[in-house]
Each structure stands twice: as structure tokens, then as C-alpha cells.
Amino acid sequence: MALINKIREKSGWAVGAIAIGLGVFVVGGDLLGPNSRLLGNDATTVGEIAGEEIDYQRFDMVFQQIKAQYEGQVQRAATESEMAMMREQAWNQLIFQIALQKEYDRLGIEVSEEELADMVQGNNIHPSVRQAFTNPQTGEFDRNQIIQYLQSLDQTGGRPMWVNFEQSILSDRIQTKYSNLLTKSVYVTGAEAKKHFDAQNTIADMKVLYIPYFSIADSAVSVTDAQLKDYYNRNKELYKVEDGRTLEFVTIPVAASTDDMNYFQEELKDLTTQFAASTNDSAFVNTHSDLPYDGTYLHTAELPEQLHKIAPLEEGKVYGPYNDGDTYALYKIMDIKDGSTNTARASHILIKPENDSPEAKQAALAKAKDIHTQIKNGADFAAMAAQHGSDGTASVGGDLGYFTEGRMVPAFEKAVFGATAEGLLPAPVETEYGYHIIKVTAPKSKRTYKVAAVQRSLDASDATRDQAYALADELAGTSQSTEEFRENVKKNEALAIESVPNVGKNNVLVGNLSNARELVRWAYSKDTSIGDVSPVFEINDQYVIATLTGKREAGYAKVEDVKEELTAAVRNEVKAQQIIEKLKGATGSLDQIAANYGPDAIIRDAADVSLASGAIPGLGLEPVAIGSAFGLKPGSRTAPIEGQGGVVIAELVNLTKAPDAQDLSGVKAQLVNTRTSRVETNAFEAIKEKADIKDNRVRFF
């Protein structure tokens, strides 16, 4: 009995222990496992926008919608580079939705039930609703149609689709309200309009003394680390950067070898023989070609270029092989018959009148007749076209290629298709473009050809591919650091290192490598450190091995990372100080000051300079010098000014003030339009910056 009581006493503890164990097993697996949020591993979090976490499923849903819409438009599967752009679009769409929604909520922008009803079936129909329920016969919006549709939603099962549609027009209306709130707040005062008008229409004539910075050798200027740091601190906002990774990599192409080419040529010979003997050409093409059989009858104008040159073609004959790069083609003529449209080929020399006057037209006709006579007497048509032709065909001897009826202007077409034999037409032909000297190189024909095409690409064999991979694998396997990677590359003269600085985390391109997303993901992996060497990546028919040589985090760039850029800027500051010091106390005219300074001093006369332009003809942008000169009296000059490309002294010769503007409404409207076009973009960029965005997409894509 005592034992039973003891079991009862302990059973509560046992049940509790089991419950705790089960809890740890069920819950702890999530809290303490490899994907644990408690341990800081956000395995499904793509990023964070304005404090709101975006998980993979939510991001993918937006991406898949964009992808489906795009593929529906282009009627094909999206490429890798296109999907990369769509992922960027999906991310920006989420930023737009989340960050702006918080702004809408803060401002109290919403759409009421009454407003929604008015948009759908009231007096202010939303454009999307109007488009969806417009009667195709009358072209008018049919309110009864939408009412009937809404009443039948539950019977037709269309309510979920309608809810999505409603959400889209709600979002559009809210966005329109926010846009109006911003754009309608743009206002330009009369004083602003007057200032803008004066800046554009006040014109100055100046004389400028200019001493470029390059007149002092870079080697003559020493820059200290203290100067670099001082300049950096004064201009820190210029050096904001995003995340970046610096990579060095080599590529090992997977290209067909000489043996591959020889084998391929032998294979083509066999295919040519078999193709000629084939009795089922469509099946032969589908068996041996990279592209499926297409039995369309083709006019001469539609034939491959290689067949143009040897037309007319013979039925049953195989032509080729022809190559275009690494693609080879064999063509067999299966059938020949007349179609419904004529095709011809011609060359022309177009002589355009200088203007529409009768005299200009007469001169152009006389020139055309003279050239026509020279060709009749033996001059080469193509050479005359290259010399006298005035359109894009001049560079190819006037050749227009094959064309069908309906492609050319009526007068030209009538002349070409009226010819019964090849050769020079008896006289120039006038069209709205000018006078044409025409040579028919293939007279009109309705002949069409049914062509079977075997097209094959020359690819590297498995043996060649294995050989290239073995080389790449050896380089990756024997390089444990950047130093070893560089040393190993030096041992192979066929390899060359390419360095790419500051690759962004969402880049698809790395230097000349396209579709290099996996390489970028490796560079940004938390397991990749500076000095690591990558595994072998296959990118665009080549093997790639890389080493990570630098990391840059988002924020302000480190001084050492922008040292070269800083040094150039500080060096110009030092040069400016030296030039200004040498000019100190200079007297006399600008010409005399320039002569005393030496041959590096340049004198420029600058006429019709406006304050709004900020540029001096021949020198470029120098807004400080121009602004200073506009504040002078004629005959006065500025002190030496540290400019963009050198030290400037500007002397105001003459100032023509802007005329009195009686009506500034046009200027106001121009400024309003300019500011309105920027206000939404600027607002979104500001909201985006304040959203504290954390972008972790590189972990997934």
C-alpha cells in the first residue's frame, strides 16, 4: 500500500517531466534548432522594411505575380537575368507598399465605404472599372452590367477575384490621394519666378584668367594622411557607400577543341549524305537538328542569307553546311511552287534634293541623270552608290536585298516589279525621297520554297569539358588563400586574373561575367572571409574560380578604401593654394598677370554667359566663379577662385540685364512642372531612407 501511495506521489512529477520533455522536443526544435529565431538565425527572413519582417513566402508571392504577368506578356519563360530584375522589382514593390502604407496611416489617408461604392457604381467610376465594364458594341460604360455582375458573385464563385480587384483600385485611389497631397502643395512665388527668369536671361561677357591644376605635376605635390582625413571629414556625405565585396577571379573557357571540331566536321559530312538520301525530311530534321522542323513555304526574301546568293534553288538538293559562329546549318529544298506575292531584289542610288524648291529638284535630277549615264557607259554601280548614295545602303553598294510587294513606296515598287529582267532601269525614278537610279538584280518572281533545315551547334565534348574542369578544380583545390591563388595562376600562362571592386550584394554582373549570382552569394556568405578561395562555379560555358580580397560594409566608406579618390581631391586643393599664393599681389591687366605668371596661364574671352548655366565656354562648369563675377560692376574682377579644374580670375566686361517680364505665369508654370515631376520621387526616396531597410535577399537568390 505504501508503494502504491509513493507511485501516486511521484506520478505528478513524472508526468510533468514528460510534458517538459515533449515541450522541448516540439517547441525547442524551433527555438534552439539550426533555424532558431531565438539564436538569431532568421532562416526564412528575406529582409526587414520599416520594422516589418518580410519572410520568404511573402516575397515569393509578390515575385511570382510579377513573373507570371511578365511571362504572359512575352509568351516565354523568363531568363535568369530577367528574373533578377523582377526580384528587384518585387523588393521595391514591397518597400513601396509597406513604407508608404505607414505614411498613409500617419496622414490618415483612406478610402471610405461610400467612396468605394462611388468608384464602382456611382458617379465617379474608377478607370479600371470603366475599362472592365465598357460595352464593346457601343463603347460606353454599362452600369447595369456591373450591378448584375456584383449580384451574381456568390453564384459564380467570383467573389475572391472581385475582392482582389477592389483592393487594387483601393490602393490606386489611396496612392492618388497621396500623390495629389504632394503635388498640389508645390507652389512658386512671384519672387522665385523673377529670380529664375533673371538667372536665365541676364547675360554677361567676361574675360577669364585660368590656370589648370594639371599645370603642376602630381609628383610635385605631397599629401599627408592628416590632410586626407581632414578633407574626408569636411566632405563625408560624398562618401556614403553600400555593401561591397572585392573579388579576383580567373575564367577557364569550355570551348570546343580542335579534335571536337574535326569530329563535328566528319559528323556534318555524314549528315549531309544522309540528308540527301532521306525520304522523310521532317522526321530527319526533328531527329538531327537542334531546332524543330518548320514546313512553311518561304519567298526568296525570307530565305536564309546564304541561299539568297545562289537562288534559284533546285528541288531535292542539299545546300551547305554554312556556319554562323558556332552554329552550322544544312538546307534541303523539299518543294518549289508559286505563291501569291511577287519578290524581287534591287540596288539603288538615292539622290536627294537639298530642299523642296523646283531649282533644287532640277539639280538633283540632273545629277541623277549624269550618274545614270556613267553607269550605262561602264561605271561600277556599287562604287557609284558608295560615292553618291545618300541613304544607309550606300555602304553596301546600294543593295536593298530581296523584298516583297507592298514593302516599298508605290513609284519605286512599280518600277522594280514592272521590270521583266535584271539590269539597270532606263531612267531615274522619282519618289518623295528624291531620285533613284535602280538596278534590278533579281527580277520579280512568285517562287516559294519549302525548306528543311538541320541546324547544329558546335559544343565542347565531354572529354574537353572534363579537361577544363580538372584544371579549374586543381586551381581551387590547391589554393587555400589569396596569395596561393595568385601564385598558382602565375604558373599557367593561359590564365589571367581579373579584379572587380565593390560588387553589390544584389549584383548579377561581376566584371565581364553575366549571370554570376552564385558567385556573388558566395562572396556575401557569412562563412566566406577575406582571403578565401571559392569552389568552381560554371558561368556561361566557362569555369570560374575567385578569391575574396576585400569587404565594404554599408555606411560611410573607410578612408583607406577611397584613398585614391581623396588623394586626387586633396592634391587639387594643395595645387589651388600654391597657384593662389603665386598670384597674390598681382597687379595690372589680366593679360599682364598671365604673362607674369608664365605659359601655364590661359586667357579666355567668354561671351553670353548666363548665371543659370554655371558654365564658362571652353572651361566647363565653374559656378562659383560665374556667381562671383555676376556680383561685380563692369571692369571689376574677382579674387583668385579655387574652381573645378583650376584657379579662375573672372573679369566682368559687360552685363546685359534681363528684360522686364510683364507676365511671369509661364515661368511659374515651368517651375511648378519641374518641381512636381520630382516631388513624388523625392518623397519616396526620403521615406525609403527612413524605413531602415535590411536587405538579406543575397542569402536566398
Enumerate the domain spans of the chain.
Answer: 109-185, 203-217+561-656, 243-255+461-553, 256-459
- Cα–Cα distance, 508 to 498 (Å, whole number): 17
What pLDDT does 128 receive?
86
Q: Is residue 111 within 8 Å of 174, Cβ to Cβ?
A: yes
Contacts of 190 (CB under 8 A, 6+ apart): 664, 668
Centroid of chain to Cα 224: 40
Average pLDDT over residues 651-657: 93
- Cα–Cα distance, 452 to 303 (Å, whole number): 11
> Is pLDDT of 286 > 80?
yes
Element (H, E) at 591: helix 590-597
Residue with cell 590656370: 211
What CA dihedral angle connects 69, 74, 79 and 80, to 10 degrees? -30
Least confident of 75-79, 329-333, 335-339, 521-525: 75-79
CATH of domain 243-255+461-553: 3.10.50
Average pLDDT over residues 513-529: 93
Q: Is residue 246 within 8 Å of 500, Cβ to Cβ?
A: yes
User: 89: which 3 cell numbers?
Assistant: 522589382
Average pLDDT over residues 339-357: 91
Average pLDDT over residues 619-638: 92
Whether this prediction's pTM lies above 0.75 is answered by no
Give tens-digit pLDDT for 316-337.
999 989 988 888 999 999 999 9
> Is pLDDT of 382 > 70?
yes
Q: Is residue 661 within 8 Å of 194, Cβ to Cβ?
A: yes
> Is pLDDT of 12 > 70?
no
Residue (of 481, 506, 511, 479) closest to 492 by Cα position: 479
- Cα–Cα distance, 568 to 245 (Å, whole number): 23
How many Cβ atoms from other residues are within 10 Å of residue 396's Cβ? Answer: 14
Q: Is 129 helix (H, G, I), strand (E, B) or coil?
A: helix
Answer yes or no: CATH 3.40.640.10 is held by domain 256-459: no
What pLDDT does 2 receive?
30
Compute the Cα dihedral for 151, 156, 157, 163 and give only its sign. Answer: negative
How many Cβ atoms from other residues are within 10 Å of residue 381's Cβ? Answer: 21
The residue type at 63: F
> Is pLDDT of 498 > 90?
yes
What pLDDT does 28 receive?
38
Q: Is residue 671 within 8 Å of 188, Cβ to Cβ?
A: yes
Q: Is residue 517 within 8 Å of 88, Cβ to Cβ?
A: no
- Cα–Cα distance, 685 to 690 (Å, whole number): 9
> Is pLDDT of 505 > 70?
yes
What pLDDT does 35 receive?
43
What pLDDT does 617 receive?
87
User: 24: which 3 cell numbers?
Assistant: 522541448
How high is the mean pLDDT of the chain? Answer: 87
> Is pLDDT of 453 > 60?
yes
CATH of domain 203-217+561-656: 3.10.50
Residue (of 338, 344, 329) closest to 449 by Cα position: 338
Query: Cα-flanking dihedrals φ and ψ of residue 344, to 5°?
Result: -145, 170
What pLDDT does 634 receive?
93
What pLDDT does 263 receive?
92
Q: Is residue 185 within 8 Å of 613, Cβ to Cβ?
A: no
Higher-confidence position of 39 and 618: 618
Give ∠ CA 668-669-672 in degrees, rounded to 5. 85
What is the DSSP secondary-structure string of 35-66?
T-TTTT--TTEEEEETTEEEEHHHHHHHHHHH
User: 152: which 3 cell numbers?
Assistant: 451574381
Q: How confident is the model at residue 42 (pLDDT cuts 50, 70, 90)?
A: low
> Is pLDDT of 571 > 60?
yes
What pLDDT does 217 receive?
94
User: 301: which 3 cell numbers?
Assistant: 526574301
What pLDDT does 412 receive?
94
On the 0-12 / 13-18 / 19+ scale of CB atoms within 10 A, 182 is middle
Give tens-digit pLDDT for 242-265.
999 999 999 999 988 889 999 999
What pLDDT does 466 receive?
93
Q: Is residue 508 within 8 Å of 294, Cβ to Cβ?
A: no
- Common-topology check for domains 243-255+461-553 and 256-459: yes
> Is pLDDT of 24 > 70?
no
Residue (of 604, 536, 479, 520) closest to 208 by Cα position: 604
What pLDDT does 681 receive?
86
Centroid of chain to Cα 5: 81
Residue (of 561, 28, 29, 493) closest to 246 by Cα position: 561
- Cα–Cα distance, 71 to 82 (Å, whole number): 10
How many Cβ atoms from other residues are within 10 Å of residue 419's Cβ? Answer: 19
Instruction: Give the ranges where 27-158 is alpha helix by DSSP (H).
Output: 29-32, 56-74, 80-107, 113-121, 127-132, 143-151, 153-156
The residue type at 593: I
